[in-house]
Structure 1
């Protein structure tokens, strides 16, 4: 079995994921740029993001021309590979993990006692919310369909409601919606904390996913 660092991303999967990400975040669609993809996000703290299936000379050349903060370069590569490829002004952020589920997720879909799942299903974006007994939002997740793929995004559980299986319940409900609309494979990018959840649901690591950005000036300086 290959080490995590040795996994090579499928460019087609990466292209599908970034298209789904832009749909889920309601940004401009991705465009090909320097052998990867550029998204003109337009947010105050993320003007542009570049996504690459791997580290390439073109990615290095692009990064060398960027000097401003709020531009992100992301690649399906290890943090060490990204550090070696980028100028010193770029900071490597917390690790990410591109993950894939080729079949039905493992486990039960039961909602924890006292909670209610509320689903909004008008694809391309479906949203599932878990509401606590008092009606407050306890967990939330989103899914979009791109061809046969379901791209899951922003699966979040409020700190006060963690450890009760809400994220699992939200994921299973999102999966049911996506499969009802023709999706048969899942893709997402997980944090280090989220990776364990998805592995417990039967997801597998597709590749490492590393983000780099130029830190903004110290506002207190």
Structure 2
């Protein structure tokens, strides 16, 4: 199960915008993004598990350069030289139409919205304590890329994640979306009407 290359390109652009890093650059079969973080110098994102992934892995010689592949872990690992491992699975998901309404969506929390350039940030507060957060950017006016949706452990299972997502959707004004979910987040997004588009594996060279 590979990703649609055009969709992946849009997601990569949106992801870079939400993280405040340079836009992705096409580089021999995948998108290169210069992240510049202490634990992640750069990442390469590939729409499919193919020979380009194997060639890329053979050239990577440091553990802070991540290889992201829109395929499951076993398929990805089969292309990698010895000394590589994969992190917990991710899932690229898409939304086609408005998110589902959940009657259990959190109430009693204060919503704070802040726009930083093209990126809209949403935070939820209980009193003066931040409890949940997320961000969204609309790419080319047609698709919303959601990122860093998180709820603090002490406030989970209260509908805060849904509240953040639906608030971002309303403010973005776009009903087409794409994101990469964790194992835990996948269930939340599925409950809101998101569908699995592809697996998303992160591979790293062992230090």
Specify the TM-score bucket, using the shorter chain as the normaliser. Answer: over 0.9
Aligned mates of 1:61, 1:109 — CA distance in 2: 49
- 8 Å Cα contact 1:109/1:168 also seen in 2: no
Q: Say which of 135, 146, 153 aligns to 2:147.
A: 153
Structure 1: any 5+ residue segments left out of the alignment?
A: 1-6, 217-221
1:137 maps onto 2:147 in alignment: no
User: Secondary structure in 1 aligned to 2:150?
Assistant: strand
Aligned mates of 1:110, 1:193 — CA distance in 2: 18
User: Secondary structure in 1 aligned to 2:15?
Assistant: helix
1:53-107 CA-to-partner distances (Å, cap 9, x unmatched) read: 0012122111111121100000110100111000121111100000000100001
Deviation (angstroms), 1:152: 0.2
Aligned mates of 2:194, 2:165 — CA distance in 1: 12
1:184 is aligned to: 175
1:112-170 CA-to-partner distances (Å, cap 9, x unmatched) read: 333111112455100110101x3110000000010201000000000011110001000
CA separation of 1:109/1:135 partners in 2, compared to 1, >3 Å: closer, same or farther? Answer: farther
Question: Which of the pair is proportionally richer in strand?
Answer: 2
Aligned residues: 206
Structure 2: any 5+ residue segments left out of the alignment?
A: none
- 8 Å Cα contact 1:109/1:173 also seen in 2: no
- 8 Å Cα contact 1:126/1:144 also seen in 2: yes
1:29 maps onto 2:23 in alignment: yes
1:205 maps onto 2:196 in alignment: yes
Q: Say which of 144, 156, 163 aligns to 1:169.
A: 163
1:23-53 CA-to-partner distances (Å, cap 9, x unmatched) read: 0000111000111100111111100100000
- 8 Å Cα contact 2:92/2:199 also seen in 1: yes
User: Secondary structure in 1 aligned to 2:55?
Assistant: helix
Aligned mates of 2:83, 2:2 — CA distance in 1: 26
Aligned mates of 1:203, 1:88 — CA distance in 2: 36
1:70 is aligned to: 64
**What is the TM-score when the length of structure 2 is the normalising length?**
0.95
User: Secondary structure in 1 aligned to 2:78?
Assistant: helix
